[in-house]
Chain A
């Protein structure tokens, strides 16, 4: 551990790299006229997901649906109210498992705001050397690693090592953030809107780089974005969230080619057309997503769903296996009582 070598896989390739079960995070917020009553934002509710070795898991959903909360739970920047996590067979933060510090060495995160996440008073080299030094890497080796990291993200060390964050463009700063995430040789990188603030021509550079690094360093990604096109481009599997819940999860081809959940369908057809001859003529759904404080009972999407029926308000639909993907909708649950469901 002291020499910071790459970590070998433990259980075989079939054992998930990360398995999170029943994760829940509610935030209390002041409510009522004088802030006396306490209400709860149900940011993430009983969410179970696994990340396979070597895959890219895309996470999509609208603002406030809980994507960043999931990310912060996965690297334990937030402690879950409930739920467990297992990293390649080792329970996290449990007596016989690995510590949160060990988790954070193996799982790293890159945020959207490339400027806020870099210390303005440190040079790029100092920023990149910080974590390896803190983990006991000798100065000379750390310097070598910094050069190696900068080259990996396409920044010439001779030119960039001694610069400060304000001397870089947004795309260059995001490359530095990615280099920093790589500094401890992690296995999993969580990218939370990591390319969202970049201009398209620069975004393409960074996406190409992420693809290359993944192969070169055997990485696994969780790629969070509100940009459905970018998620489609990069992901092997895609998870769709709505108000703190998973509504659909499956291989990218199934989610984009044959979406089953009414929300996934709406989200996909809300994408602006790239063809002026095929402009959108009708919005797929009306209204805004509701407030995650006091979300609707039963299916949280029911207030905007064109297929909502009584059962949708009464019963929460389980995330159930359909043919190629898992879907949380009563129409897909045999015998649910929804008129479009098959009989049990």
Chain B
């Protein structure tokens, strides 16, 4: 497998007059074509900021970046506006938790998908509309010809989410970025959409980065899982390995504190305290204030991300 995406030492800091947020503090990973990487982490850990960096969606004037993000060899952080617009329209697509952000309420679903197709392929109106119908069919929306004429608010949550996936795939991207696309859906609908994403990923050999805070969801879709904490990846491993033998104390705590079948009557393991404030760049392990294994060298310097075995890396002084 060749790597389509290479992220190296990414730092993202937001600076506003009243505060500074060090949202991402040195994230590195690779993604191969046809691979799904799950990024798991709690609220504020920097998952969305990492993902949005790949499309450079942050407000330019108050974002400070460093590091490198290369897609098929092209440096995204240096891209000129023209190349950036090609990147967003043709090479990389993104789906979100809230489809309302993807669709304009005053146009029909068909108009919006067809317009995107027309813009990127130069096809005629009729041809674009036909492609839009095929796309709706592809995401398994029943009676697609009728659904083309529906406005976003006329669709159920699950249907809108499918339509957003159709829109995202309308320009044949090679990389799909998914930011909690099923979090707002009901359980019986969520599983349908997860299975759809998995099928489409295979069918089109997409690279997918799937951000979620739900371990079950990450396990359903991912080949590898990266765990984020306070703007850093603290562990990265193939999905089986992450579930069977997580190494970082935070990953272990997160898995142990997630309630699942058969835990009734047991006391839950929980991690004391709360994640750190990101106003300062951390000078040691960010998890140290909550870690029961903390020792002096944890806070002396930021622990490096070390391989404990092939494809399994851990950022902890205890990892060997």
Residues of A within 8 A of B (CB): 62-63, 169-172, 199-205, 207-208, 211, 226-230, 232-233, 252, 256, 266-267, 270-277, 279-289
Contact = CB atoms under 8 A, between A and B. Distances in A.
Interface string B128-169: 000000000000000000000000000011110000000000
B239 A276 contact: yes
A201 B257 contact: yes
A283 B187 contact: no
A54 B190 CA distance: 34
Given A200-B42, A208-B267, A267-B187, A272 B214 contact: yes
A198 to B, nearest CB: 9
Interface in B212-268: 213-217, 219-220, 239-240, 243, 253-254, 257-261, 263-264, 267-268
Contacts, number: 124
Interface residues of B, number: 42
A208 B192 CA distance: 32
Contacts of B214: 272
Interface stretch (B1-9, B51-59, B87-95, B269-277): B269-277
Given A284-B191, A288-B159, 16 more contacts: A199-B43, A200-B254, A200-B257, A201-B42, A201-B254, A201-B271, A204-B258, A208-B270, A271-B191, A273-B216, A274-B216, A279-B220, A286-B192, A288-B156, A288-B186, A289-B186
A214 B220 CA distance: 35
A232 B258 contact: no
Nearest to A63: B186
Contacts of A271: 187, 191, 216
Nearest to B220: A272
Given A200-B257, A287-B158, A233 B191 contact: no
Nearest to A199: B42
Contact of B192 (A201, A283, A289): A283
B271 A283 contact: no
Nearest to B270: A204
B183 to A, nearest CB: 11
B261 A232 contact: yes
A228 B272 CA distance: 24
Closest 10 CB pairs of A and B: A272-B216, A204-B270, A204-B257, A199-B42, A62-B186, A288-B156, A201-B271, A204-B268, A205-B270, A283-B192
Most A C-beta atoms less than 10 A away, residue of B42, B188, B257, B258: B188
Contact of A200 (B192, B213, B274): B213
